[in-house]
Structure 1
Amino acid sequence: MTTAAPDGRRERKKLATRAALRQAALRLALRDGVENVTAERIADEADIARRTFFNYFSSKEEAVLATAALGAEAVVARFRARPAAESVLTALREAVLEVMDRDDVAGHEHVAVLRLIRRAPSLLPQQLSVLAAQERALAAAITERLDGPDDAYVRLCATTAFAALRVVLDRWLERADDAAPPIDVLRAEVTDAFTTLAGGLDR
């Protein structure tokens, strides 16, 4: 008689499978170009049954951009963990800097995805979908922090924060060649961007 695997083990297996597909999709897209990637090739690259792919991702574009989604999710998670005494924009700035300070595989993969997005217009619709989902998640976190209604202020904070990050990251990558520009440059520009938001945009 066999017993079902514990929920924790099953969940870890699902996360591992998703990560394998995400990493395979990114490897193939970087190596061969997004237009030459298929769901079947991603599954084969990850050594996972082809029919399994669509249990985790709805398209190859979603799989390729899953790393970018993880980066945004990490910012929201760190924002939730910031001290309650911090203002919304201060907590957001510090959350972003915490995530950027990671010097690990996930961090390098995120930079690779950002580069890929710049040269693959076909990823734009999925990128917008990812951004919309993460803005909603951040708005929910801001609402919880303020213990108030989900009003225009909350939506504006969430939308402008991610917009500021997109602008800063895009400018940062414009200066790069094959290697990422110095992280201290990015940190300084993130700080400047959030200082500008806190001060107001009207000049």
Structure 2
Amino acid sequence: MTTRRTGLREQKKQATRVALREAALRLALQYGPENVRVDDIAEAAGVSPRTYNNYFSSREQAIVAAVTAEREERIAAAVADRPAHDRLADALADAIVEQYTEPDDHDVLLLITENPSLRDAFLDTAATLEHPLADAIAQRLGDTAGTLTARVLAATVAAAVRAALHQWLQPPAAPCATGGLVVPSGSLPDLLRSALAALAPALDAADKLQDVQTG
């Protein structure tokens, strides 16, 4: 009985989170993010502002969450599902590039690139990769390298993803007539793969350690 109540409670919490982030994005697209208050988002989702604060710390976080929803879990699942004989470096790069370069809604991408606060919040989402990835990496390595190694590798992967996103969304060096709009520069898949390639030696070493201990 307790398990069922716990399951229903988690489902309700997830539904509330979805309602809040969808309301945040809808209002931001309709009125502009700077004209949306937390109270507006809470009202549109049918909850109190206090409840809102249990899920998101700012309107920017909620808006960006609508774009990046569960991305970190999908990446971790894709890494864990890859065949054991695949390179960890390849599994990570393929999963991250796939999830970060899905077809984006043009209006949503424009919303993020033209608002500095949303750009910062979008960059910060890279940090959410760390914990799910640490679990997926530890699972692939059979925990032979130790949980600390998995956590360190996951943290460096998250940092590499953030660096690639920052490069992609960096403001122009000189003022231009775009009214603050930042036009994404370069190929995001190429930037992600280039950033992650720098970590390949460490990831390959973890693979070899696992092979030695399981061989």
Pick the TM interval, shorter chain: 0.5 to 0.7
Q: CA deviation at 1:188?
A: 1.5
Could you tell me which residue of structure 2 aligns to residue 190 of structure 1?
192
1:60 pairs with one of 47, 58, 65? 58
Query: Do residues 44 (structure 1) and 40 (structure 2) align?
Result: no
Q: CA deviation at 1:166?
A: 0.9
Residue identity in the other structure for 2:165: L
- Tell me if the contact between 2:123 and 2:162 (Cα under 8 Å) persists in the aligned partners: no
- Tell me if the contact between 1:39 and 1:53 (Cα under 8 Å) persists in the aligned partners: no
Residue-by-residue CA offset, 1:57-87 (whole Å, 9 max, x unaligned)? 1533543342446333332222222222222
- Where do 1:1-203 residues align within 5 Å? 15-29=14-28, 31-33=31-33, 37-46=36-45, 48-50=46-48, 53-54=51-52, 57-61=55-59, 62-67=61-66, 68=68, 70-103=70-103, 105=105, 109=108, 111=109, 115=113, 119-120=116-117, 132-148=127-143, 149-151=146-148, 153-174=149-170, 181=184, 185-199=187-201
Q: CA deviation at 1:12?
A: 6.8
Could you tell me which residue of structure 2 aligns to residue 4 of structure 1?
none
Q: CA deviation at 1:54?
A: 3.6
Residue identity in the other structure for 1:24: A
In structure 1, runs of 5+ residues without a counterpart are 1-6
- Tell me if the contact between 1:39 and 1:60 (Cα under 8 Å) persists in the aligned partners: yes
In structure 2, runs of 5+ residues without a counterpart are 1-5, 173-177, 203-215
CA distance in 2, matches of 1:113, 1:92: 28
CA distance in 2, matches of 1:187, 1:97: 6
Residue identity in the other structure for 1:137: P
Residue identity in the other structure for 2:158: F
Q: CA deviation at 1:17?
A: 4.1
Q: 1:73 to 1:19 in 2, by over 3 A?
A: same
Give the alignment's TM-score, normalised by structure 2. Answer: 0.64
Q: 1:167 to 1:66 in 2, by over 3 A?
A: same
Q: CA deviation at 1:15?
A: 4.4
- Tell me if the contact between 1:37 and 1:60 (Cα under 8 Å) persists in the aligned partners: no
What is the SS of the residue equivalent to 1:120? helix
